[in-house]
Chains A and B, each alone.
Chain A
Amino acid sequence: MSHAENLPAWAALLVAFLVLAGAGLTLIGAIGTLRFRSFFERVHAPTLGTSWGTGAIVVASMILFSVLGSRPVLHEVLIGVFISVTTPVTLMLLARAALYRDRSEGSSDVPPDHLADKPDER
């Protein structure tokens, strides 16, 4: 960051705000993961980090390097795209595993499996 002194004030303020917002959202998400009680509540907290937590930092990076390099730097968009495309894979695997666990324990907190009596249709 040796060229940071060339950054105009408006861009510096905007980038600082976005980086702090993104890092703050990710931190709040981490706190939420710790605070929530059940698995299904906990699963919501990290999505703060994978949505606008990432998004704000990515936008900040695009602004910073576009202004410094005086040409549009857009490849960070791909980070956001790939994160939002791959998050559902892990989340759905975890959620289905938890659902299976709770159902086989006979927990009343999860809705019953309406296909349980006809397993062939799965």
Chain B
Amino acid sequence: MRRILPYPVLTASLVIVWMLLNAFSLGHFLLGLVVAVGASRAMMQLEPSKPRLRRWQLIPWLCGIVLLDIARSNIAVATIILRGDRQARRAGFVSIPLDLRDRTGLAVLACIVTSTPGTAWVEYDSASGVLLIHVLDLVDEQEWVDLIKTRYEATLREIFE
């Protein structure tokens, strides 16, 4: 099983992508399956380390809170832009010591931090595990450290580590 399907999650996602782009029918399922199995076996040559999903049940929950947080910060940043410079606002850098070491987990965290308006991933140092982000509306640094660490990092560690 492991030899035929080295990346079951990747294979399943590729089949779903194939059927979304074409049609949900038996023919496209089989065709997509052939493409997906071929592609995931090619992937084996490229990526020797395989991400482990320990608790995939948490993924929908994480997606939900991330979409909600992004919507909230969309409104916050839109308000800042429309309000202009009339109100004092301080932008600044926050460094966050991360315990998350899994590369896939860090990649997902980068997507979350970047997709959220108001926070931007600036630099990550893999030796010390310190992440530098830029925050548009910085009120309390510790608040941002707690937000990233408890809201996202803890969940990502549960999923990937």
Contact = CB atoms under 8 A, between A and B. Distances in A.
Nearest to A28: B78
B81 interface: yes
Which of A53, A75, A95 has the most B CB atoms < 10 Å from its CB?
A: A95
A47 B116 contact: yes
A35 B115 CA distance: 20
A115 B127 contact: yes
Interface residues of B, number: 37
A16 interface: no
Interface residues of A, number: 37
A31 B20 CA distance: 35
B48 interface: no
Interface in B85-136: 91, 93, 95, 107, 110-111, 113-123, 125, 127-128, 130, 132, 134, 136
A88 B121 contact: yes
B103 to A, nearest CB: 14
B102 to A, nearest CB: 16
Interface in A64-96: 74-75, 77-78, 84-85, 87-88, 91-92, 95-96
Contacts of B70: 51-52, 55
Nearest to B95: A111
B110 A92 contact: yes
Given A25-B78, A32-B81, A84-B115, A95 B120 contact: yes
Contacts of A31: 81-82
Contacts of A32: 77, 80-81
Nearest to A49: B117
Contact of B91 (A28, A40, A95): A40
A110 interface: yes
Nearest to B119: A44
A43 interface: yes
B68 to A, nearest CB: 11
A84 B111 contact: yes
